[in-house]
Amino acid sequence: MTSPTLKAPAGNGPRSLRRARPRYGERAVQGLLLVAALVSVATTVGIVVSLIPPAVEFFERVSLADFLGGTEWTALFSSPRYGVLPLLSATMLITVIALAVAVPVGLGAAIYLSEYADRRVRKALKPTLEVLAGVPTVVYGFFALSFVTPRLREWWPGGTGPDFQNALAAGLVMGVMIIPTIASLSEDAMSAVPDALRDGAYALGSGRRVVSVRVVVPAALSGIVAACVLGISRAIGETMIVAIASGNQAVLSWNPLDAMQTMTGFIAQAGSGDVPVQSFEYKTIFAVGALLFVITFVMNMISIRLVRKYREVYE
Amino acid sequence: MTYVRVTEPPSPAAPRKLAGPRFRPDESAFRVLLLCCLAVGIIFLGVLLTYVLVEAWPRLDSRLWNNFPSIRRPERAGAQSAIFGTIWVIAFTALFCLPTGIMAAIHLEEYADPNRWYNRLIELNIQNLAAVPSIIYGILGLGLLARQLALGTTVLTASLTLSLLVLPVVIIASREAIRAVPQSIRQASLALGATRWQTIWRQVLPAAVPGIATGSILALSRAIGEAAPLLLLGAVTYVAFNPEGLESAYTVLPIQIFGWISQSREEFHHLAAAGIVILLAILLIMNAAAIWLRNRFSKRW
């Protein structure tokens, strides 16, 4: 409240409107709150600081080209090779399987919730779907390994079925885990589409399906894409499902029936063993972790930017 | 009162045409397809819960919480140390992350000028942290807390790491609760001469408590289910004692379950399922509490 009229005269009147004494308590509280908000920035700094020095030490011995271009990953063996491609390919394959489940199913659920369901149904179904996101991932891992994989092996038509641990089961179950992420965010984006657009389409004689698919979905597209990118980020970073159900051998293979190891799977395996702190194996955790962080960071930024973009359109 | 029909009723043909054909197979098929999408998730959840419960049935008895884990005698193994470890770790996680998260939310909603670059940076940073893989937090805890600060692999490291992990969730939920308090409440308080902080402390926060509590419980229930970061932080599977303090070694339920899953013997399989039932029961109770809180105390202005 520092409008010039209040400040100016030194007379009796406006003086009482001015602050009687400086409130140090208020300032202190404000500072404390700022510090709390800065904890989150410190977390990011902490992540970067804990990743970089060991990763730098790693890259002093293994060249970046060998790391990113090598096709053999045997970091915990006696004759170690540090080519990250097998871990990357496994991560990508499982992500693709997960998205093949989560994107169509999640989007379908979102369209139903946003365009078809009435308020009461939506209020009941949305939280039910979100329970899926609250199930601990170790439970999904257990289910993938001991329920989904045996069923897959049983029902596989002819020939050899999937391995005891395989990328397919892990990817399918991970896809179900990501459904609520995609459904919930897409539903938000679709609900934000103004009714005028729908009414216009109805006025032209469109049915509900046409309005949903040709009007609402395109209008909410950036929000939907943001949801999918966030889903990719989740799938890349998910650890327990792949650590339990997809196996621990890093092999360069595109066959989803094989056992394979993802980046997160390797970190979990190396980190839960008794790797000596000063050893070179210990530093591989941080090198793979740095790659994982960079990839998910880029994905998150794309997603955040897209969400911003669609918000600006209708506000 | 009776109405007198002034005009002839329109012939049934006219409105029919406006309504379109009564049965449109493509529309119905699309609707069914969408319902199937919704059903996939819900049926999956149903199958998962049933399967776990059936598998756990033979081992769902008092041995589970009375006995300590054992690797040699699965028939006598329990999960007492894991249950107590979970309670210890979550209690300290709540102690660390709730005040910090709520204070950060107050700063961002009540004090921060969104046009300042540093406030925008904080906001962007929180959104990003909310989607950083949990195992990266494990690396943070391992590299910075356990090794650099030499806190070791203790209850303290675990709860600090989990606090940082769920902090963005607490902040985002608390911000939404604070934002939902109408501006008129603040203006009335300020008009009566209350300072900014008095307004926040006496008016805004009490009104936002139900929302904050709901979000906090959901955040903590996420922390309870996390296993990945604790794998890196030395939460060992077979710990035959309950934690006695912040410096103590520990295990938690998800890690214990992970350990049991990795064993090949049949008994461990049932044991893992039983552990999962306990874990899910805890989460269910927490979620029910959150929903109850929201319905009981939430205000509509």
Nearest C-alpha in A relative to B142? A50
The residue whose two tokens read 């096709």 is A71
- What is the per-residue pLDDT for B5? 54
Which range, of A29-43, A58-72, A210-224, A286-300, averages the lowest pLDDT? A58-72
pLDDT on residue B20: 58
Percent of chain A with pLDDT over 90: 51
Checking if the pLDDT of A82 tops 90, the result is no
Asked whether the predicted pLDDT for residue A314 surpasses 70, the reply is no
pLDDT at A7 over 60: no
Annotate A240-277 with b (16+ C-beta within 10 A) or e (fewer). bbbbbbbbebbbbbeebbbbbbbbbbbbbbbbbeebee
Q: Does A113 touch chain B (CB under 8 A)?
A: yes
Among residues 168-227 of chain B, which lie with CB inside 8 Å of chain A?
Answer: 168, 171, 195-197, 218, 221-222, 224-227
Q: What is the pLDDT along chain B (301 residues), one digit of tens a residue?
A: 455 555 555 555 545 455 556 677 888 899 999 999 999 999 999 999 999 999 988 888 877 777 777 777 777 777 888 898 899 999 999 999 999 999 999 999 999 888 888 888 999 999 999 999 999 999 999 888 888 888 888 899 999 999 999 999 999 999 999 999 999 999 999 999 999 999 999 999 999 998 899 889 989 999 999 999 998 887 777 777 778 777 788 889 999 999 889 887 888 888 899 999 999 999 999 888 888 888 887 777 6
Pick from B162, B161, B207: nearest CA to B184: B207
Contact B126, B168 (CB under 8 A): yes
Is the predicted pLDDT of residue A15 greater than 90, yes or no? no
Predicted local distance difference test score (pLDDT) of residue A230? 92
Q: What is the pLDDT of residues A28-70, one digit of tens each?
A: 999 999 999 999 999 999 999 999 998 999 998 888 888 888 8
Structure confidence at residue A1 as a pLDDT band (50, 70, 90): very low
Is residue A292 very low, low, confident or very high in pLDDT (cuts 50, 70, 90)? Answer: very high
Residue A221 clears pLDDT 70, i.e. is over it: yes
**A271–B232: do the CB atoms touch at under 8 Å?**
yes
| pLDDT for position B203 | 93
Residue A40 CB contacts under 8 Å (≥ 6 apart), including other chains: B104, B122, B125, B126, B129, B167, B168, B171
Residue A16's pLDDT band, with cuts at 50, 70 and 90, is: low
Angle at A299 between CA A294 and CA A303, to 5 degrees: 145
Q: What is the C-alpha to C-alpha distance for residues A202 and A134, in angstroms, rounded to an integer?
A: 38
Who wins on pLDDT, B7 or A121? A121
Q: What is the ipTM of this complex?
A: 0.87
Q: What is the pLDDT of residue B152?
A: 80
Q: Give the pLDDT of residue A3.
A: 44
Contact between B221 and A133 under an 8 Å Cβ cutoff? The reply is no
Given CA atoms B205, B207, B213, B218 in this order, what sign does their dihedral have? Answer: negative
Chosen for mutation from B27, B36, B44, B295 (greatest number of chain A CBs closer than 10 Å) is B44
pLDDT tens across A143-196, in order? 999 999 988 888 888 767 788 888 999 999 999 999 999 999 999 899 989 999
The model's pTM is 0.87
A140, A175 in Cβ contact below 8 A?
Answer: no
Reply yes or no on whether the pLDDT at A97 is more than 90.
yes
CA-based nearest residue to B212, from B114, B73, B109: B109
Q: What is the pLDDT of residue A9?
A: 45
Q: With cut-offs at 50, 70 and 90, classify the pLDDT of residue A17.
A: low
Per-residue pLDDT at A313: 54
Instruction: Give me the residues of A, 5-24, that contact B with CB < 8 A.
Output: 23
Give me the pLDDT at residue A315, please. 42
DSSP state, A263?
A: H
Q: Please report the residues numbered 238 through 267 in chain A whose beta carbons come closer than 8 angstroms to any beta carbon of chain B.
A: 238-240, 243-244, 264, 267
**Do A30 and B111 lie within an 8 Å CB cutoff?**
yes
pLDDT tier for residue A74 given thresholds of 50, 70 and 90: confident
C-alpha angle A183-A189-A191 in degrees, rounded to nearest 5: 95
pLDDT at A2: 42
More confident residue, A302 or A163: A302
**A contacts of B35 (beta carbons < 8 Å):** 112
Chain B 260-289, CB below 8 Å of chain A: which residues? 261-262, 269, 272-273, 276, 279-280, 283, 287
Q: pLDDT class for A256, splitting at 50, 70, 90?
A: confident
Residue of B nearest to A50 (CA): B143
* Cα B285 from Cα A260, distance rounded (Å): 36
